Copies of this chain bind each other. A is one copy, B any other.
Amino acid sequence: MAILVVGSVAFDAVETPSGRRDRCLGGAATYFALAASYLTQVRVIGVVGEDFGPDEERVFVRRKIDTRGIEHVPGKSFFWSGSYMKNLNEAQTLNTELNVFQSFSPKIPAEYQDTEYLFLANIDPVLQEDVRRKMPKVKMVCGDTMNYWIKDHAENLARVLKGLDVLLINDTEVRMLAKDNNLVLAARKVLDMGPKALVVKHGEYGATAFFCERSFAGEKGSITIPFRAPALPLAEVVDPTGAGDSFAGGFFGYIASQPTLTPAVFRRAMFYGSVMGSFAVERFGTERLQQLDPKEIEERFALFRQLSHLE
């Protein structure tokens, strides 16, 4: 089934110990869409400026991503620049120019109205809520957020969390959102805020899913047992930008591709998330995600199994 992502389509400038790029196509929605496109049909809602031309459009079209929801307006696209020179695990933001994103008001094309799977990438929770409300036929909603919204827009974020099936955030964010330093206690508190499941991304240590008792992915008799997916130990992380969004794309893309969401599907989705995250960081920007081979994806999935399974 088709999946819809709303979020940023942007240009990034990054420097990492492996080199630098002054302008690569980025943004959470771009990473998510490319990663998910290997698993299911993807639709995008976002806004770009006049600097988003045929070359950028082609990146989406080649992956058969539906871009009718990408609005083109006068001005420049969202621009972010960051450095990983000090710490590969955490970007140091050098510059953020919202540009056309500043007045972004998501519009849902008529052709998207039947979407059943919705991903709310990391944007203002007011916009996340707005999109959610405009999509009455959605049957599963996943979302992301970040420290900025957690700290300064808590009330708006709380309304979004109430309507989420799965919240995907990183380690630091879950502890910040719950105001608890213990991962398990923090996860319980976040699940009490609304989401039926919580996926915590630990960077190079993988990701953990926590389920609440009313969870759709709960197994009888073991509904509160979390699930851990490993990350691939990599000799070189070229550019960590977008790893989390790529994880989300692999995760939700796989779920949307399956007829029903069972605990086994949820677990495999966690692995597809890790697989896509591991590809994303192998090259700058979305370079690697633009040209994956389905066979490579299945081989890496098998590698993740070998990496973590007893037999």
Contacts and interface: CB of A to CB of B under 8 A. Distances in A.
Interface residues of A, number: 37
A183 interface: yes
**Copies of this subunit:** 2
B184 A235 contact: yes
Given A202-B205, A268-B310, A271-B310, A236 B305 contact: no
A102 interface: no
Nearest to A229: B308
Contacts of A183: 204, 233
A208 B202 CA distance: 15
B307 A226 contact: yes
Interface string A36-72: 0000000000000000000000000000000000000
A182 interface: yes
Nearest to A219: B306
Interface in A57-89: 88
A228 B308 contact: yes
A98 to B, nearest CB: 33
B228 A307 contact: yes
A163 interface: no
Nearest to A181: B88
A236 B182 contact: yes
Contact of A310 (B184, B204, B267): B267
Nearest to A202: B205
Residue of A182, A210, A236, A268 most packed against chain B (CB within 10 A): A182
Given A225-B306, A227-B308, A267-B311, 17 more contacts: A182-B234, A182-B235, A182-B236, A184-B235, A202-B205, A206-B228, A208-B233, A222-B306, A226-B233, A228-B230, A228-B308, A264-B310, A267-B310, A268-B310, A271-B310, A309-B309, A309-B310
30 contacts: A88-B181, A182-B234, A182-B235, A182-B236, A183-B204, A183-B233, A184-B233, A184-B234, A185-B235, A187-B233, A188-B235, A205-B205, A222-B306, A225-B303, A225-B306, A226-B233, A226-B307, A227-B307, A227-B308, A228-B230, A228-B233, A228-B308, A230-B230, A230-B308, A264-B310, A264-B311, A268-B310, A271-B310, A308-B309, A309-B309
Interface of A: 88, 181-185, 187-188, 202, 204-206, 208, 210, 222, 225-228, 230, 233-237, 264, 267-268, 271, 303, 305-311
